[in-house]
Amino acid sequence: MTATTDHTTLDSSLAAPTDGLVSPAAPVTSPGFDGPSPRPSDDDPAFALHRGGKIGIGLTAPLNNREDLSLAYTPGVARVCTAIAETPALADEYTWRSNTVIVVTDGTAVLGLGDIGPAAALPVMEGKAALFKHFGGVDAVPICLDCTDVEEIVDTVARLAPGFGGVNLEDISAPRCFAIESMLQDRVDIPVFHDDQHGTAIVALAALENAARLTGRTLGDLRAVVSGAGAAGVAVTRILLAAGIGDIAVGDSRGMIYPGRDGLTTVKAALAAETNKAGLHGSINEALAGADVYLGLSAGKVPEEAVATMAPEAIVFAMANPDPEIDPEIAHKYARIVATGRSDYPNQINNVLAFPGVFRGALDVRASRVTEGMKLAAARALADVIADELADDNIIPSVFDERVAPAVSTAVAAAARADGVARR
């Protein structure tokens, strides 16, 4: 099937969801609530919970007397410093580094709020750090940078890197996020992981593996349409290609991406060369005719008549938050399996299912990077957690399933060893 003319299906820029809340970048005037911006009040439970922040620093060594102080600080600390100076790798054993990551943002693509700046992004980064600790036992430090230049961000984080075991990039707008991650990983020997890309991709792949299994198919049997060519859309597409999807085509605000289309960025041109075997030109609405899978990672809307043209036993992942690209009630009329980014519907595609376990596994083996093999292993382990419990409304584990992080971290650690990036 070749679509032809309509390039107006999506009505705003397509950008990265974050933190499993799977939200597209949007103006600050559209943050998922109606009316004027909220005013601080402790009568509002959200403000009351955030007063003073959500995280802090705790001690792992006693400081009760002079002897404790002499060991934790001077003169005892000097012996440890000297040993590390002689053998730098000892920092992983005798400091917090082996269990601590930095969560870095420039505030340009925060949840559904868009470019709100680094200070306004801090509550989200604190939340991310809290999720790291609660679900993965990983200590995380929020770093909100007052710059948006790619090279400045890379230089700044690279200079901070000696004190940490990993870097989690967060809420950085596309396409800059692609260059930042790649350039930074070339500069440092610790994992650099842009969660808006890879966390989303890991969870989406796990859910789609289970959805295919539940409907008696494999990934290779499926033709998928991706709405959104921002950070998450690109990463989801790439991991599905690596996992063996039958065919996958990507659309942005101008319609389907294909070789030779005007206005393609470098990233989109690379996607065009690897996707869209059917040669679809035109709107996402038209591309859905006969498609097995819809993956929404955008701010666009899909009309009911387009959903109705999908193949039997269709799978719809409408992951924009707070408003999915396809209303779940409408999706259920035509699709067998429906997932969203929201916690008030079944099958929530939530990044917290991935990143704590990914970093836990990477840190445990002191990995130098997160490889494609580690991401695929994470997705398969996540899918397998509920392999014996699959149902149309249960294709992905709950974020509170205590089996998730251990399963993901074990698989990631094993893959790191297999890929030769583990250092213990």
334 noted as active-site residue: no
pLDDT at 24 (0 to 100): 35
Contact status, residue 207 vs residue 339, Cβ threshold 8 Å: yes
pLDDT in tens, 252-305: 999 999 999 998 999 999 999 999 999 999 999 999 999 999 999 997 899 999
Helix (H, G, I), strand (E, B) or coil at 59: coil
β-bridge mates for residue 223, sequence order: 247
Q: Tell me which DSSP letter residue 41 carries.
A: -
Structure tokens belonging to residue 97: 């580094």
Question: Nearest Cα to 358, choosing from 386, 339, 382?
Answer: 382
β-bridge mates for residue 317, sequence order: 295, 339
CA distance 301 to 284: 10
Q: What is the pTM of this model?
A: 0.90
pLDDT in tens, 223-262: 999 999 999 999 999 999 999 999 999 999 999 999 999 9
pLDDT at 300 (0 to 100): 87
* ∠ Cα 416 129 417 (to 5°): 5
Low-confidence ranges of the chain (pLDDT < 70): 1-36
pLDDT at 385 (0 to 100): 98
**Catalytic member of 128, 268, 301, 375:** 128
**Catalytic member of 54, 73, 133, 277:** 73
Helix (H) or strand (E) segment spanning residue 105: strand 100-105
* ∠ Cα 96 201 133 (to 5°): 25
Structure tokens belonging to residue 193: 């992981």
294 noted as active-site residue: no
Question: Nearest Cα to 337, choosing from 316, 356, 364, 363?
Answer: 316
Pairing of strands 255-256, 247-252: antiparallel
